[in-house]
Amino acid sequence: MTIPKTQKAVVFYKHGGPLEYTDIPVPSPKANEILVNVKFSGVCHSDLHAWKGDWPSKTVLPLVGGHEGAGIVVAKGSNVTNFEIGDYAGIKWLNKSCLCCEFCRKGAEIDCPKAVISGYAQNGTFQQYALADAIQAAPLPKDINLAEVAPILCAGLTVYKALKTAELLSGEWVVISGAGGGLGSMAVQYARAMGLRVLAIDGGEEKGDLVKSLGAEIYIDFTKTEDLVQEVKEATNGGAHGVINVSVSPTAISQSCQYTRNGGKIIFVGLPPDAVCNTSVFDIVCKSLQIKGSSVGNREDTAQAVNFYTRGLVKSPIKVVGLSEIPEIFRLMEEGKILGRYVVDTSC
Ligand code: NAD
Ligand code: ZN
């Protein structure tokens, strides 16, 4: 397998600045790394946050974004024993962690103080050849559809872990807020596969059609409803048992705490900049609410999330376009106009 010296990538030099589709050198793997010929990469809203620089911790610059990459191992460092050249591999948000600290030992590797994030602290998957720590890279079955599995590596994994964190029982109502986007369209399906009843919230008729086709029983359009909280309470016969908030709206975050029933579990996943959770402590205490944050998932969560996909329990609602289209994808994402997930083909 010949590895070229240069490759196509989308690079930005300052936050909010031009996203240049250009040629850059192909990196070489260090002893613990694999070099993956990324065939497809999902485009996550976190990539948009990274480019805008709107979160408290900033990215390195210049940066190649992207963290939902699926491709083929083309080179590996001298210490790598768990991948062979030609294997399929996925590159996730968590590129590496120390594996020695308290958090890594407990399987909460994303909380490792030395965690390194793909497409944030090091170049990610909006390029044809990307590096991944071999321990954290996701092994993928050989016959898998690389375009479809790409969004499982962040969107699917994240919502699956969030649903596990909610500890809901089959037959209970879960609200997916932001259901028509990348994470939401996966969350609806994982929730169904886990035996939950889904009430989906997003904006517009097209998103309603999408989430219903994926298994949502009820859809509420937040742009049309006059009293969202009341509507959710009525539709779920007293309030949701749980909420997975993947929306990018501070208002939606606060509302999530209002339409859950007593004992309700509210899991925050979406990360609108500067958002605060405006909830009365009286309600939290007297309704016995549980409010938790959830960030991606660990290696076992990844294997389980991919397994749901390979078993056909979740589908990947994707639209594939060329890598050079990232600026247009970001524009549509900013306007909330993306149905499901965009995946970029790095060959064009
Ligand atoms: P997306 O743009 O594909 O989807 C967001 C959806 O939220 C859109 O469909 C939009 O219409 C909807 N929305 C906007 N306002 C709403 C409102 N008031 N009520 C309901 N829905 C509303 O984005 P995505 O890729 O799915 O990511 C969503 C968020 O999750 C981002 O902030 C991203 O950074 C974050 N994220 C977090 C993790 C994690 O580990 N916690 C992982 C991945 C992404
Ligand atoms: Zn992501």
How many residues make up the chain in this entry? Answer: 348
For ligand 1, atom 3: residue with the closest CA: 181
Å from CA of 244 to ligand 1 middle: 11
Q: Are the beta carbons of 93 and 301 closer than 8 angstroms?
A: no
The residue with tokens 């790394």 is: 33
CA 44 remoteness from chain centre = 6
For ligand 1, atom 44: residue with the closest CA: 46
Choose one of 44, 153, 245 to mutate for the ligand 1 pocket test, by most ligand atoms within 8 angstroms of C-beta.
44
- What is the SS3 assignment for 264? strand
Looking from the CA of residue 184, the nearest atom of ligand 1 is 26
- Give the whole-angstrom CA distance, residue 173 versus residue 168: 8
Looking from the CA of residue 293, the nearest atom of ligand 1 is 41
Burial 127-147 (b: 16+ CB within 10 A, else e): bbbbbbbbebbbbbeeebebb
For ligand 1, atom 30: residue with the closest CA: 270
Phi, psi of 33 (to 5 degrees): -110, 160
Q: Are the beta carbons of 146 and 39 closer than 8 angstroms?
A: yes
- Taking the whole predicted model, whether its pTM rises above 0.75 is answered as yes
Å from CA of 5 to ligand 1 middle: 37
- Give the whole-angstrom CA distance, residue 86 versus residue 304: 23
Domains for the chain: give ranges and CATH numbers: 6-153+297-345 (3.90.180.10), 156-293 (3.40.50.720)
Å from CA of 46 to ligand 1 middle: 9
Point out the ligand nearest to the CA of residue 295: 1
Å from CA of 237 to ligand 2 middle: 33
The one-letter amino acid code at 17 reads G
The residue with tokens 């790598």 is: 80
Q: Which residues surround ligand 2, an ion (CB under 5 A)?
A: 44, 46, 154
Choose one of 45, 48, 335 to mutate for the ligand 1 pocket test, by most ligand atoms within 8 angstroms of C-beta.
45
pLDDT tens digits, the chain, 348 residues: what are they?
A: 799 999 999 999 999 999 999 999 999 999 999 999 999 999 999 999 999 999 999 999 999 999 999 999 999 999 999 999 999 999 999 999 999 999 999 999 999 999 999 999 999 999 999 999 999 999 999 989 999 999 999 999 999 999 999 999 999 999 999 999 999 999 999 999 999 999 999 999 999 999 999 999 999 999 999 999 999 999 999 999 999 999 999 999 999 999 999 999 999 999 999 899 888 999 999 999 999 999 999 999 999 999 999 999 999 999 999 999 999 999 999 999 999 999 999 999
- Give the whole-angstrom CA distance, residue 48 versus residue 12: 12
Å from CA of 210 to ligand 2 middle: 20
For ligand 1, atom 29: residue with the closest CA: 270
Pinpoint the alpha helices (H) of 194-298: 205-213, 228-235, 250-256, 281-286
Q: Which of 48, 16, 57, 130 minimizes the C-alpha distance to 341?
A: 48
- Give the whole-angstrom CA distance, residue 294 versus residue 165: 7
- Give the whole-angstrom CA distance, residue 45 versus residue 155: 10
Q: Are the beta carbons of 216 and 200 closer than 8 angstroms?
A: yes
